[in-house]
Amino acid sequence: MHRLSPAALGALLRVPRGRAPFSSSSSSSSSSSAPPQPAIAAKEPFPVELKAGKTYAWCSCGHSKRQPFCDGSHKKAAPGMSSLRFTPQEDGPAWLCGCKRTQNPPYCDGTHNGEEVQGAPLPPQP
Ligand code: FES
């Protein structure tokens, strides 16, 4: 279900909460304190081509230099955060969240269109 027509993609980017079939798990341990706020890596989603059955690690902290995927930067830049591992069930294109504010991780749900993301400064690029 990652194959989207341009119209469906447009709807997805505007709809606040979408659903996509995949299995996921986080390697982080649970804590009773509030989770740290991720950095905004980009103000739009990243288009990617996913392979069914392959496990990916989506960057949830926003500090990876391999966006939208994890490069281990969270260990120093965002202790307490970890990547989100997920395994798509179908081959195909997908839009992975770059703002790290989606309510449907790792997929974009349109949250990036809000003022919190669009009005925020981006971290300096190397
Ligand atoms: S990039 Fe769209 S919700 Fe994060």
**Does the reported pTM lie above 0.95?**
no
Q: How confident is the model at residue 7 (pLDDT cuts 50, 70, 90)?
A: very low
Report the percent of the chain where pLDDT is more than 70. Answer: 69
- Cα of 73 vs centre of ligand 1, distance in Å, is 20
Q: How confident is the model at residue 32 (pLDDT cuts 50, 70, 90)?
A: low
- To test the ligand 1 pocket, which listed residue (19, 46, 96, 102) has its Cβ within 8 A of the most ligand atoms? 102
Is there an atom of ligand 1 within 6 Å of 112 CB?
A: yes
Report the nearest-CA residue for atom 2 of ligand 1.
Answer: 108
DSSP state at residue 111: G
Question: pLDDT tens digits for 90-111?
Answer: 999 999 999 999 999 999 999 9
